[in-house]
Chain A
Amino acid sequence: GAVVSQHPSRVICKSGTSVKIECRSLDFQATTMFWYRQFPKQSLMLMATSNEGSKATYEQGVEKDKFLINHASLTLSTLTVTSAHPEDSSFYICSAPLPRGGKGNIQYFGAGTRLSVL
């Protein structure tokens, strides 16, 4: 079945460094991918919509210069957290819907990335 791969699964970094998270659709093409963030004991909140070949669309309150999204191919979207700070520590997860309404537009999620900024 359709699989979305997300890497790395866990990152621990120092404050001020940048962290790149990759999201790949393994057996289907994804013109759109979504990036969510989940703080402890809270639900997933949409951060941005990644669009292949064009600029990402960010949700209100999400800094586009801090969370850089690149969707360079039909199977890969990357999220870069620039100059990470402790308050950026969270669980980041990507998703991709099957194209052309496949399986009723079911969305497949990556396994998530746990980011801890010291």
Chain B
Amino acid sequence: KQEVTQIPAALSVPEGENLVLNCSFTDSAIYNLQWFRQDPGKGLTSLLLIQSSQREQTSGRLNASLDKSSGRSTLYIAASQPGDSATYLCAVRPSGSARQLTFGSGTQLTVLP
């Protein structure tokens, strides 16, 4: 059974700092990995999706990497802003026909002004 772990559970940084969020998964047989942002009491916003054949994806100040063989992904946020404060979730989709996602428990990020 796939297990997804995110470290740290919470992170507080001053504005402007670059930071890295970590995600690890136990079963490397994945189809893709997706990073989401969740604001308190809200739904999910998709940030980046990395296919299993890809190594990284970039969108603006965000860069996500994937090392499938070691079961790791990182989300790099450059020049953090208070508006980046949210919970960040990673989720993996298994290889094969199944499309449901297995989520990590998230990293709660606070960017201090």
Bits for A80-108, please: 1 = Cβ < 8 Å to B, else 0: 00000000000101010100000111111
Segment at the interface with A among B36-44, B59-67, B68-76: B36-44
Residues of A contacting B: mostly: strand
Select from chain A the residue with minimum beta-carbon distance to B36: A109
Bits for A13-55, please: 1 = Cβ < 8 Å to B, else 0: 0000000000000000000101010000011111001000000
Residues of B contacting A: mostly: strand
Interface pair A32/B42, CB less than 8 Å apart:
no
- B42: chain A residues at CB < 8 Å are 111-112
What number of B residues sit within 8 Å (CB to CB) of A? 23
Minimum C-beta distance from A28 to chain B (A):
14
Cα A110 to Cα B45 with chains together (Å): 9
- B103: chain A residues at CB < 8 Å are 36, 43-45
Interface pair A107/B46, CB less than 8 Å apart:
yes
Interface pair B32/A34, CB less than 8 Å apart:
no
Cα A6 to Cα B43 with chains together (Å): 10
Cα A103 to Cα B101 with chains together (Å): 16
Minimum C-beta distance from A5 to chain B (A):
10
- A95: chain B residues at CB < 8 Å are 44, 101
Cα A91 to Cα B42 with chains together (Å): 9
- How many A-B Cβ pairs are below 8 Å? 57
Interface pair B43/A107, CB less than 8 Å apart:
no
Interface pair B105/A107, CB less than 8 Å apart:
no
Interface pair A104/B41, CB less than 8 Å apart:
no
Partner of A106, one of B41, B46, B104: B46
Chain A residues at the B interface, C-beta cutoff of 8 Å: 6, 32, 34, 36, 42-46, 49, 91, 93, 95, 97, 103-112, 114
Chain B residues at the A interface, C-beta cutoff of 8 Å: 31-32, 34, 36, 41-46, 49, 51, 89, 91, 93, 99-106
Task: Give 19 pairs: A residue, B residue, CB < 8 Å, sorted on A.
Answer: A42-B105, A43-B103, A43-B104, A44-B89, A44-B101, A44-B103, A91-B41, A93-B44, A97-B99, A104-B51, A105-B31, A105-B32, A107-B99, A109-B43, A109-B44, A109-B45, A109-B46, A112-B43, A114-B41
